[in-house]
Amino acid sequence: MTDYSVYAGDIEQVLNKYPLLGASGFKYYDKVYYKTKERHEEVFVRDREYMKSSDALVQFAAARRWLRKQTKGVQRLANSYGLKHRAERAEGTYIPNGVFIAAAVAEGFKITKPDGPNVRINVLMGNLSKVY
């Protein structure tokens, strides 16, 4: 049985570097979805805590496994939300957007400034792992 707690320090480093990163991605207030800023803050705090959970560590390991099979690109950048879906199909498990972003950072991929909850990641699109 794998001890996923070895990834806790890696996630903690990413969270320290990106204080607005939570399980859903980067903090982004959508007034239609959250209705109030107070509700948004509650959800963000919960998302942030989730990033340290045992479930998140398993998902983080799966995302890193998939990312290790990818090539770092220079010019074209892929959307984190689309990439996480590819990783989910390949790994056979759900991976939250923020957990995927944290895994990409931990694997040395570069991310852009957030565009809503998502970022662009320097994964070379032509070489994406096609293992589903």
For the chain, the domain total comes to 1
pLDDT in tens, 7-53: 999 999 999 999 999 999 998 866 666 678 888 888 899 999 999 99
| Percentage, residues of the chain above pLDDT 90 | 65
88 assigned to some structural domain? yes
The residue segments making up the domain with residue 34 are 7-127
CA–CA distance, 87 with 82 (Å, rounded to integer): 9
**The model's pTM:** 0.89
Per-residue pLDDT, 38: 86
Would 20 be classed as within a structural domain? yes
Cβ pair 106, 14 in contact under 8 A = yes
| Residue 84 located in a structural domain | yes
The reply to whether 112 falls in a domain is yes
| Residue 120 covered by a domain | yes
Q: Look up residue 114 and give its two tokens.
A: 């957030």
Mean pLDDT, rounded, for 58-70: 96
Answer whether residue 1 is part of any domain. Answer: no
Contact between residue 35 and residue 95 where contact means Cβ atoms under 8 Å apart? no
- Assess if residue 93 is contained within a domain: yes
**Phi, psi for 43 (deg, rounded to 5):** -65, -40
132 belongs to a structural domain = no
What pLDDT score does 55 carry? Answer: 96
